[in-house]
Amino acid sequence: MTEPITNHQPLPEVSSGQSFTLHSAIAGLDTTDKVSIEIRNSSNKWKTVDMQRIGGYEYKANVPVDMVTPGIINYRIMVKRYNGDTYTFPGGFKGNPYAWDEWRNESWQTIVASEQSPIEIYHATRDGEKIMLYNTDWRNNRVEYIAADDPGRLALKMTMAKPTAGQLMGWQFYFRDKLEGRKSELSSFLKVAIKARSTEAVTAHLSLIDTDANAFGATVDLTQEWKTIEIPVSSLQKDSMLLLPRPYPGFQNLWFTSSSAKTLRMEDVELLSTTSHGKPLACRTTGRSMVRSTKKLTNR
């Protein structure tokens, strides 16, 4: 008998007080096998929900709204075979997961964000290996991760040792997966915040790029002190998009400007782009967040 296998990616974060759907690809099942999800939240409340087959190997289950409270949701997928065998994921181990001597308790987890909380779309410590760099002078330019001023966090440091006029250095990061669980809130976010510094006063350019390759950007001035800079979403202007990886052969355009008249919708953004031009630069960037209007952060 074929053992079942799963392919599942947990949502990084979801909105509190709203039901959400978990999807998983599960192969190796018979039509009489049953699949369920065991859910536990931070209040130590438990619930088991059946997963429904929606076609092919795809299954889904809705997490009840009463389980979606601020904190963490942990969950496991359980496959009950027609012959009585049980397989539990992650791990895929066979046997009764509730047996007194069963020591394996792996689970997936999703953060449930509290109301009015920001979305962190770039975290240098966790996301450092996922950025796409643009660097035309690896001999003299340097990219590294260093200790930041916040405990337990790294900072992305980019240095131009011998900058020339017009020389460009930058990076991009895809963050769409971080928004999926909070899509219903995205239209309420009014600001983008960046925490950064530089050894010399320099100007950096930040852009948000949507699913149709429309870019919307703004320029920020960096100082020698760590500073959180807030950019109103309403101030982001139609922009050009840096094409990464660099188009080849090299005579092709490095920039793309969409001819669409589409305006910025936070529901559609998926890519963060940051660039700086030829001037001595040692910009340490700890992270980016989307921040909505609160009592402390307003759009006035």
Nearest one of 10, 77, 71, 21 to 41, comparing CA atoms: 71
The residues spanned by each domain of the chain are 5-113, 119-292
Please give the helix or strand (H or E) that residue 197 lies within, else none: strand 189-197
Per-residue confidence (pLDDT) for residue 36, from 0 to 100: 97
Backbone angles phi, psi at 27, to 5 degrees: -115, 160
Q: What length does the chain have? A: 300
Q: What is the identity of the amino acid at 252?
A: Q
Backbone angles phi, psi at 81, to 5 degrees: -75, 160
Residues 47 and 218: their CA atoms lie apart, in Å, by 46
Per-residue confidence (pLDDT) for residue 88, from 0 to 100: 97
Q: Name beta bridge partners: 290.
A: 119, 192
Strand positions, DSSP E, 12-148: 13-15, 20-27, 34-41, 46-50, 52-55, 58-63, 71-80, 86-89, 93-94, 108-113, 119-123, 132-135, 141-147
Pairing of strands 20-27, 5-7: antiparallel
Residue 26, Cβ density class (10 Å: 0-12 exposed, 13-18 middle, ≥19 buried): buried
Per-residue confidence (pLDDT) for residue 197, from 0 to 100: 87
Q: Do domains 5-113 and 119-292 have the same CATH topology?
A: no
pTM equals 0.84
Mean pLDDT by 10 residues, the chain (300 residues): 92 95 96 96 95 95 96 97 94 94 95 91 92 92 87 88 84 95 92 89 91 96 89 95 91 93 94 78 42 32
Per-residue confidence (pLDDT) for residue 291, from 0 to 100: 41
Q: Cα dihedral sign for 124, 219, 273, 193?
A: positive
Q: What is the identity of the amino acid at 112?
A: V
Instruction: Name the CATH topology of 5-113.
Output: Immunoglobulin-like (2.60.40)
Residues 271 and 201: their CA atoms lie apart, in Å, by 26
Asked if 137 and 247 count as a contact pair (C-beta separation under 8 A), the reply is: no
Nearest one of 231, 234, 226, 212 to 274, comparing CA atoms: 231
CATH superfamily of 119-292: Galactose-binding lectin (2.60.120.430)
